Amino acid sequence: MSKFVKNLISDDLRKRLEGVESALLVSVAGLDANKNFRLRKTLREKNINLVVVKNSLARRATEGTPLAPAFEEMEGSLAVVWGAEDVVSLAKEVTRLASDKQFEPFSARGGVMDGGRLTAEQVRAVSKWPSRQEQLSILAGQILSPGAMLASQLISAGGALASQIKQKSEGEEDSGAPPAETPTAESASAEAPPAETPAAEG
């Protein structure tokens, strides 16, 4: 391969990976055309990109970028995968596909995360972490839990008070004692004795 062609490939790869800070390296050697097609289709459905590269060209293309550590101590041809929701989701999908017999001998080779190089074993370890969506669900549950507890306590106290008021009112109704009547002006005048009229003097 001429130097001119190598430079073209390196420039193209550099443009594709521009802005990418975390990626994984996988081996697709040994996959036949059908398996390769199914693998790429499955990855596209998860918004994951895959590019087969030669290690020396990839090292040149990623020099000075956060992806450079991924290609240290790597040899031969491999593929770079990036995308998905986050690097954890990416590791989960790569690990899942590597364990699927229909994609043998597809496997993880390593990668880079937050500027640090990952080995194949570390990729499998990262795949067991909670993804961003799972972390958000856990955080939302932790935030909502105190609020739900407070609401439950408020509702419980209000329910107890309402129950006591209801029991009190039912107790008064069941006692049978007629309510005391407030005398009106007419009844008061009717019950009052008539005033004596003084007798006229002789």
- The pair of three-digit structure tokens given for residue 131, joined into one six-digit string: 């993804």
- A 10 A CB-CB count for 34 gives 9
Distances in Å between the alpha carbon of 141 and those of 113, 129, 136, 145? 27, 18, 8, 6
**Residue type, position 191, single letter:** E
What's the predicted TM-score (pTM) here?
Answer: 0.66
| Rounded Cα gap, residues 94 and 107, in angstroms | 8
Strand partners, 24: 81, 111
Q: What is the per-residue pLDDT across 137-168, written as a single tens digit (0 to 9) for each?
A: 666 666 776 666 666 666 766 666 667 776 77
Q: Give the pair of three-digit tokens for residue 93.
A: 């999908």
Per-residue pLDDT of the chain in tens (202 residues, 90 and over written 9):
788 888 888 899 999 999 999 999 999 999 999 999 999 999 999 999 999 999 889 999 999 999 999 998 888 889 999 999 899 999 999 999 999 999 999 999 999 998 899 999 999 999 999 876 666 666 666 677 666 666 666 676 666 666 777 677 666 555 555 555 555 545 545 554 555 555 444 4
**Structurally, what CATH architecture does the domain formed by 3-135 represent?**
2-Layer Sandwich (3.30)
Q: How far is CA 142 from CA 118, 135, 148, in A?
A: 31, 11, 10
Nearest to 94 by CA among 132, 158, 50: 50
In order of 49, 84, 100, 138, 143, the CA distances from 131 in angstroms are 19, 11, 21, 10, 18
